């Protein structure tokens, strides 16, 4: 059986800083090459698409020599950093734009959801846009009518279905757009990161629907996301892209691992705060200089980790609590850890003037692989809000798949391992 999608040597070139091709001489040069049956001369030049560096060329390759086959019924995950070429590939597959070289063969009707508002007319109502989208997909009015109630119910926008969509929130927009794309019987469903706009309840329902139409109806889905949990739960096969090329293809678990391993060097596990502005409600008694995870080694799911606070204490302080909060990239708190819950009630962390490292051990770090932000605070007294030092969502933390162990807290003065007064010996690194 032939693949439902075949991509052969597809490349896409853009010109930086211009609308269209630029000068008349360039256009004439392209035209003359076509007349003579030669290759476009401007396809011989251009640089790799690296968004973080300056270019010496006016041309850039958003995609370069992409070769890929997708079988019917596959759910293909497409992952990679921003600017890797994921959305450009989906736009070519959706026929929003054309490739500069190569060809794509797609056997079946394609429905795509590339960004909020794709395929909708702002002045039309939700109901009218359902019929508009169905017509674009080549469906008869009778076919669309038979699915109408199911689409409206799935979207959860019943009350607003006869209101122009320009008055919808972005979440409502995506709810209705996904409901239309998923229910109008496409052979190939293409979904970019837009599901991240929806709430948790809708994302769960959308992923369930994609699983149903793939496994139950044999449809093919291409799914771009930075949510590695969703990729792992949904996709049976994945590719990873970097700078316009495919760097890996295969089993989703292996590809996610490859993606993390390739990018771990770019994700620091040590964060400097010595010269950053800070919030302190009790004056400058203590300052956090650095926070380090696992002595700057990768952080793995289900493994033991160390969080090291390097601090400077300027006068004696008693009964200090170290708090640490982990959040989603959007800023929602997932879990809070603090030394109050890790030490016995009769134990205090007391500090004299000096430089210290305080380490929080977590025996089993259960967060799913992915990117997170974190907060941390130093405060005085159990259950109080007397803050000594505080940072909120200052840095990004990356958790990698796999690896593996009650939580201790110990301290040592820089240059020598000495117990902090008041902590029992079995909780001290000796």
3-state helix, strand, coil in the chain (%, to 5): 30, 35, 35
Q: Which residues contact 204 (CB under 8 A, 6 or more apart)?
A: none
The secondary structure of 39-96, three-state, reads: CCHHHHCCEECCCCCCCCCCEEEEEEEEEEEECCCCEEEEEECCCCCHHHHHHHHCCC
By the 8 A CB rule, do 354 and 337 touch?
A: no
Residues 174-229 have pLDDT tens digits of: 888 888 888 877 889 898 877 766 677 787 888 888 888 888 788 899 999 877 77
CATH code at 67-265 = 3.40.50.300
The count of other CB atoms within 10 Å of the CB of residue 228 is 22
Across 59-63, 85-89, 370-374, 408-412, least confident range = 408-412
Judged against a pLDDT cut of 60, whether residue 282 lies above it is answered with: no
Q: Which residues contact 217 (CB under 8 A, 6 or more apart)?
A: none
Q: How confident is the model over 5-10, as a mean pLDDT?
A: 94
Hunting for tokens 């889905």 — which residue is that? 221
Confidence bin at 105 (pLDDT 50/70/90): very high
Same fold, 67-265 and 268-427: no
Confidence bin at 426 (pLDDT 50/70/90): very low
Calpha distance 223→230 (Å, rounded): 10
Largest CA distance in the chain: 88
The pLDDT assigned to 52 comes to 47
- Highest mean pLDDT out of 112-121, 148-157, 323-332, 376-385: 148-157
Closest CA to 376 of 289, 305, 267: 289
- Sketch the domain layout of the chain as residue ranges: 67-265, 268-427
CA distances from 311 to 36, 193, 286, 415 (A): 71, 40, 7, 13
User: What is the rounded average pLDDT for all residues in the chain?
Assistant: 77
CATH architecture, domain 268-427: Distorted Sandwich (2.70)
Which of the pair, 313 or 426, is modelled with greater confidence? Answer: 313
Hunting for tokens 């359902």 — which residue is that? 130
Q: Report how far Cα 153 is from the mean position of its chain's Cα atoms.
A: 29
Residues 147-160 have pLDDT tens digits of: 899 999 988 889 99
Q: How confident is the model over 19-38, as a mean pLDDT?
A: 67
The pLDDT assigned to 247 comes to 92
Calpha distance 50→59 (Å, rounded): 12
Confidence bin at 248 (pLDDT 50/70/90): very high
Helix (H) or strand (E) holding 135: helix 126-136
By the 8 A CB rule, do 380 and 386 touch?
A: yes
Terminal-to-terminal C-alpha distance of the chain: 66
By the 8 A CB rule, do 350 and 317 touch?
A: yes
The pLDDT assigned to 330 comes to 54
Judged against a pLDDT cut of 60, whether residue 342 lies above it is answered with: no
Calpha distance 302→274 (Å, rounded): 31
The pLDDT assigned to 409 comes to 43
Rg (CA), the chain: 27
The pLDDT assigned to 399 comes to 83
| Main-chain phi, psi angles of 393, to 5 degrees | 50, 40
Across 15-29, 163-177, 389-403, least confident range = 15-29
Q: Which pairs from 264-267 meet CB under 8 Å and 24+ separation?
A: 264/298, 264/398, 264/400, 267/396, 267/398
Q: How confident is the model over 294-302, as a mean pLDDT?
A: 80
Closest CA to 364 of 307, 404, 334: 404
Helix (H) or strand (E) holding 204: helix 200-211
């Amino acid at each position: 059986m032939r693949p439902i999608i075949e991509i052969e040597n597809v490349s896409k070139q853009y010109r930086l800083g211009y609308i269209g091709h630029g000068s008349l001489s360039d256009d004439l040069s392209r035209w003359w090459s076509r007349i003579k049956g030669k290759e476009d001369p401007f396809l011989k030049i251009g640089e790799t698409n690296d968004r973080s560096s300056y270019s010496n060329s006016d041309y850039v390759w958003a995609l370069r020599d992409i070769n890929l086959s997708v079988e019917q019924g596959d759910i293909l995950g497409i992952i990679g950093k921003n600017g890797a070429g994921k959305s450009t590939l989906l736009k070519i597959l959706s026929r929003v734009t054309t490739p500069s070289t190569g060809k794509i063969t797609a056997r079946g009707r394609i429905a795509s959801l590339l960004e909020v508002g794709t395929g909708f007319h702002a002045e039309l109502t939700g109901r009218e846009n359902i019929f508009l989208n169905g017509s674009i997909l080549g469906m008869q009015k009778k076919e669309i009518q038979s699915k109408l109630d199911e689409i409206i119910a799935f979207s959860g926008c019943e009350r607003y279905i006869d209101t122009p969509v320009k008055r919808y929130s972005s979440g409502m927009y995506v709810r209705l757009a996904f409901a239309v794309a998923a229910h109008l019987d496409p052979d190939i469903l293409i979904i970019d990161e837009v599901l991240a706009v929806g709430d948790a309840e809708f994302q769960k329902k959308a992923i369930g629907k994609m699983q149903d139409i793939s496994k139950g109806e044999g449809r093919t889905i291409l799914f771009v996301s930075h949510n590695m949990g969703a990729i792992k739960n949904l996709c049976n096969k994945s590719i990873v892209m970097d700078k316009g090329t495919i760097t890996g293809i295969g089993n989703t678990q292996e590809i996610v691992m490859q993606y993390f391993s390739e990018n771990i060097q770019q994700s620091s596990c040590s964060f400097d705060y010595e010269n950053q502005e800070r919030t302190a409600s009790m004056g400058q008694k203590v300052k956090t200089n650095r926070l380090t995870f696992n002595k700057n080694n990768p952080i793995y799911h289900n493994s033991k980790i160390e969080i090291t606070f390097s601090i400077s204490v300027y006068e004696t302080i008693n009964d200090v609590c170290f708090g640490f909060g982990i959040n989603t990239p959007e800023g929602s708190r997932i879990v809070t850890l603090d030394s109050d819950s890790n030490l016995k009630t009769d134990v205090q962390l007391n500090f004299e003037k000096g430089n210290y490292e305080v380490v929080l051990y977590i025996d089993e770090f259960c967060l799913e692989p992915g990117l997170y932000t974190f907060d941390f605070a130093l405060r005085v007294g159990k259950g109080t809000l007397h803050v000594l030092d505080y940072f909120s969502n200052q840095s990004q933390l990356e958790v990698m798949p796999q690896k593996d162990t009650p939580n201790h807290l110990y301290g040592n003065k820089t240059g020598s391992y000495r117990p902090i007064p008041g902590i029992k010996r079995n909780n001290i690194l000796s």
